[in-house]
Amino acid sequence: MNTTRIKFQKVGLAIYFSHLDLQKVMQRALKKSGLPVWYSKGFNPHIYMTFTLPLSLGQESLCESFDFRLNEELTEAEILKAMEGTLPQGIVLTTAGAPDYEAKEIKYAQYRITLYGDTDILKKALSDYESAEKVTVIKQSKKTTKEVNLKAEIRNVNVNETGENYLTFTALFPAGIDYNLNPALLVEYFSENYGIDANATDYLRQNLLNEKLEILQ
């Protein structure tokens, strides 16, 4: 039995797949592929599948992956060939092979975020954020509500591009099996304080990084 990791991009219309939807999509694709996939034993056999770091609804990503098990050893080319034509638009497979890092190694996710609106206001929002000593927001989960200082959590904020009515920047957000910070929290802060339209924001997860800020390929 071989654990295999498929890496893929989730872009375009695929941003509207929830994590549960995505699980169903991948299960259906593996069944259609004809690959010798390992199923769990028992009364209700199912495909063993784990996603490295689930993505929030409405966000794009270039660095998604999931693990599953095969009963035979196959090459990357054989796996990707079998998966051709099994997935909907916006799910693009990139590689397949043995897992090259453990989920617990993930500590940060790099996002490219595009804000839309008056460029001067967008610039001011980023500039004020960068010069502030503390920026506090409320982070809510199913079980807890707590204050979070974004300045202590988010790293390496860099403006990449500005144009007529938009601004793009990158930043590192805490991510992993223990703790995640959704980049939407920062955008919501901009929305509440500068009137930026949070619903018009584009999010792209570009890379996952370890504790040393090394990209996990």
- Three-class secondary structure of residue 192 per DSSP: helix
At 115 the pLDDT is 97
Encoded amino acid at 54, one letter = P
Tell me the average pLDDT across 132-143: 89
CA-based radius of gyration for the chain: 19
pLDDT tens digits for 150-186? 999 999 999 999 999 999 999 999 999 989 999 999 9
Spell out the alpha helix ranges (H) of the chain.
Answer: 19-33, 76-83, 119-131, 150-153, 184-194
Tell me the average pLDDT across 78-104: 96
At 129 the pLDDT is 97
Q: Provide the β-strand partners of residue 145.
A: 140
Helix, strand, coil distribution of the chain in percent, nearest 5: 30, 35, 35
Q: Which element (helix H / strand E) includes 17?
A: none
pLDDT at 1 over 80: no
At 42 the pLDDT is 78
List domains and CATH numbers for the chain: 2-100 (3.30.70.580), 104-209 (3.30.70.60)
Which positions ≥6 away from 6 have C-beta within 8 Å?
65, 66, 68, 79, 83, 93, 95, 96
Contact 5, 65 (CB under 8 A): yes
Its pTM stands at 0.94
